[in-house]
Amino acid sequence: MKIRHIIVLFAAGMCGLGMPAWAEKADRDKPLLIEADAMRHDENKLLTHFTGQVVAFKGTMVLRGARMEVQQDKNGQQIAQIWAAPNERVFFRQKREGVDEFTEGEGEMVIYDSQADVVTLVQRAELRILRGTVLADQITGQKIVFNNSTEVMTVDRPAPGTKSTDPRDQRVRAVLTPRSSKSAAAPAAAPPASPALPALRLSPGTGESKKP
């Protein structure tokens, strides 16, 4: 039976940067919790390697892959790189701030820079926005970078000359679903009712009508 290794890596010095609108705000200050089948740490280089069914958590952020490398600096900032097994892709998921939406995606490699609060999906990259459980937006490209601090996303296609059996890999593709109105338009107000008029009755003997 394999023994799972668990390590918690604390990130410091993050409060000075602007909080992101894309990702859950509290995620930046949460520790990075990693599970794997094996771990090797080099204290001199502040470098930690994880191998075997790696799963990483940082608040609402989830990363899954075959192996992971975490480089820290003296201030506790981290750059995490996670690779997929052959013919597979790394999985990424994170809740968006203030809404019932999630960002998730895949790539053959995923990089997370804690100081810049930037996530990069590399090779066969795909990013999806889920509103609740419904798929809203979907973007594919060779490299997808989204910066939670600046709310800017960039998508690159493969470099010229890159060979692929799928012609779609040579283009950036996006499916963007318009947001529905939060509330339906209120129906037009009915015009005020006219005041009731008194009923008419016939005057005896003349056949003329008159008010009571």
pLDDT single digits (tens) 120-132: 999 999 999 888 8
Q: Which amino acid is at 60?
A: T
Structure tokens at 118: 């930037």
What number of residues does the chain have?
212
CB–CB of 112/119 below 8 Å? yes
Average pLDDT value over all residues in the chain: 75
Q: Give the pLDDT of residue 16.
A: 29
Q: How many CB atoms sit inside 10 A of residue 189's CB?
A: 6
Q: Give the pLDDT of residue 164.
A: 55
Residue of 94 and 97 predicted with greater confidence? 94
Q: Give the pLDDT of residue 152.
A: 86
The CATH superfamily of 5-177 is Lipopolysaccharide (LPS) transport protein A like domain (2.60.450.10)
Report the alpha-carbon angle 40-43-45, nearest 5: 95
Q: CA–CA distance from 75 to each of 17, 71, 112, 115, 147 (Å)?
A: 14, 12, 16, 10, 21
CB–CB of 150/116 below 8 Å? no
pLDDT tens digit sequence for 32-79 = 899 999 999 999 999 999 999 999 999 889 999 999 999 998 888 899
| Residues contacting residue 56 through CB under 8 Å, at least 6 positions apart | 32, 33, 34, 35, 62, 63, 64, 68, 80, 82
| Residues contacting residue 153 through CB under 8 Å, at least 6 positions apart | 127, 139, 144, 145, 146, 147
User: Using DSSP, how many helices (H) and how many strands (E) does the chain show?
Assistant: 0, 15
CA 120 to chain centre: 13
Q: Give the pLDDT of residue 15.
A: 30
